[in-house]
Amino acid sequence: EADIYQTPRYLVIGTGKKITLECSQTMGHDKMYWYQQDPGMELHLIHYSYGVNSTEKGDLSSESTVSRIRTEHFPLTLESARPSHTSQYLCASSAGAGRNYGYTFGSGTRLTVV
Amino acid sequence: DAKTTQPTSMDCAEGRAANLPCNHSTISGNEYVYWYRQIHSQGPQYIIHGLKNNETNEMASLIITEDRKSSTLILPHATLRDTAVYYCIVRGTGGFKTIFGAGTRLFVKA
């Protein structure tokens, strides 16, 4: 039973197209994150958010942008997709207070740009 | 958040206990140790976490040394479905840039 949802699960798209990867969570978590992961490689943080109207870039430079207009929603947008954007994108959230500060991850979106 | 060090890969026989070590020598007093696993290309799945006491749940046990500089995740009876990448991370209340690292690739063999 997933509490954080990512859509689509797989996406194949042509170069130059604009895409938005959706991420929603039902746990009321303040903090949300986007990670990028190539097959067999490490997770790299590309964006994070403290809460509504708060977004920051992560350690890995990314041409994507994010928004946080509602607590539960943290979409990621690529204005013009390129083959170098081919990767898996993982969304996660965590509580801002309480005993468990751990992450809950979505199932990921596997993006292929052709 | 503090950085962790894990072996790149480990093997374990099916039915035996899998003991996965993690070093976190720079852990601070308010940081918890978390373990996750990632099967194929799915999102990492939470396994267990702890501060300084040993913890056990239905999936695994977590043993944290008294100085908190290292820990061990124990899967008591490994199955083929436990083959995955296991990540050890440390995390406190204010941490955002948690480093997952490469984790340990566990191979459970029949």
For residue A98, pLDDT over 80 is answered with: no
Is the predicted pLDDT of residue B23 greater than 70, yes or no? yes
Q: For chain B, what is the mean pLDDT?
A: 91
Q: What average pLDDT score do residues B32-36 get? A: 93
Residues in chain B with CB shorter than 8 Å from the CB of A48 are: 96-97
Q: How far is CA B81 from CA A84, A90, A94, B8, B96, in A?
A: 32, 22, 26, 19, 31
Report chain B residues touching chain A, CB-CB < 8 A: 32, 34, 36, 41-46, 49, 91-93, 95-98, 100-103
Residue B19 to chain A, least CA–CA distance (Å)? 22
CB pairs under 8 A between A and B: 58
Question: CA of B76: how far to CAs of A53, A86, B20, B52, B61, in Å?
Answer: 44, 38, 11, 20, 8
A32 within 8 A of A74, measured Cβ to Cβ:
yes
For B94, the closest chain A residue by CA position comes to A96
- For an interface test with B, which of A24, A43, A47, A87 has the most B Cβ atoms less than 10 Å from its Cβ? A43
User: Percentage of residues in chain B with pLDDT exceeding 90?
Assistant: 75
Residue A58 has pLDDT above 80, yes or no: yes
pLDDT at B93: 65
The pLDDT confidence band at residue A105, using thresholds 50, 70 and 90, is very high
pLDDT at B12: 97
Cβ neighbours of A58 in B, within 8 Å: 97
Contacts of B103 in chain A (CB under 8 A): 42
d(CA B12, CA A51): 42
The pLDDT tens digits of the residues spanning A1-26 come to: 569 999 999 999 999 999 999 999 99
Cross-strand partners of A33: A48, A92
Question: Which positions in chain A touch B44 (Cβ < 8 Å)?
Answer: 43, 90, 103, 105
